Amino acid sequence: MMNERATRGASVTSTKNGWRLGIQKGDSLTYRDAQLDDYSLLPRHKFPHRTLSLSLLARASSSSLPGTWGFGLWNDPFGMSLGFGRSPFRLPTLPNAVWFFYGSPENYLSFASDDRVPRPPANGFMAQAFRSPKFHPLLIPAGLALPFTHRTARRLLSRVIAEEGVALGVDVTQWHAYGLDWNPKRALFYLDGALVFESEVSPHVPLGLVIWVDNQYAAFTPDGKIAAGVVENGENWVEVENIVMSDA
């Protein structure tokens, strides 16, 4: 069952074969998010997916939306309702995700070390996977270092958080067929029927399905800069149709 959720200034509207997720034009003072999910009313340990095969059609109103949008699976690591009511409180945790993700240039969603070659993409439109432990001994010095030297904390996190990703050069304003096959060993990403990325970075379970568009950004750059907030946006939307899911 899909939950339709929208903050003030956002909407989720049913269409003939799916949904239109939209956020209204607004300033950089208010968070706006339109979202479909199947986990929001559950505690994290009861998220529904341990494997998943997902296919859908999608398009966006622009190839350069301010904020983020995408679809796939994650563990909701921030643990906050972000303007939604009735969501259970969850402690923040490290990211586990496998998804098609877009982030505007204000975002930097990669924890890879400075010398990683090739470096995974940190913004733009991509196929991406994260795997993180619930706890690792290096998290203790990373947490102690964070208030004093962000670069040291980030370097330690890069040794704890496994990630892989690839930039996708596709016109997202046109309808495309996206597919994701995820199991405990690997994740396969498909675009218009062609395999475009395969990763053995398989996130820890369980995960929840999320499809969204918002005006948020978050960044933790290699030079230690940390930034997060919301950005001014126009009338932006993402449409999805023909969603098919099955647990392998």
Tell me: the pLDDT tens digits for 1-59? 799 999 999 999 999 999 999 999 999 999 999 999 999 989 999 999 999 999 999 99
Computed over every residue of the chain, the mean pLDDT equals: 89
Query: Confidence class of residue 225 from pLDDT cuts 50, 70 and 90?
Result: confident
How far is 40 from 131, CA to CA, in rounded Å? 21
CB 160 within 8 A of CB 133: yes
Q: Judge whether residue 141 has pLDDT over 90.
A: no
pLDDT of 163 reads: 96
HSE-up of 136 (CA within 13 Å, CB side)?
A: 16
* Alpha-helix runs per DSSP H in 82-129: none
ω into 147 cis (within 30 of 0): no
Q: Judge whether residue 153 has pLDDT over 80.
A: no
Burial class of residue 1 in the structure, from the number of CB atoms within 10 Å of its CB (0-12 exposed, 13-18 middle, 19+ buried): exposed
CB 176 within 8 A of CB 92: no
Percent of the chain with pLDDT strictly greater than 70: 88
DSSP state at residue 144: H
pLDDT of 83 reads: 47
Model pTM score = 0.91
CB contact burial 125-154 (16+ within 10 A = b; e otherwise): bbbbbbbbeeeeeebeebeebbeeebeebb
Kindly list the structural domains of the chain, giving each domain's residue range(s) and its CATH number in brackets, ordered by start.
Answer: 3-246 (2.60.120.560)
Tell me: the pLDDT tens digits for 83-133? 444 566 677 888 999 999 999 999 999 988 777 767 889 999 999 999 998
pLDDT of 149 reads: 64
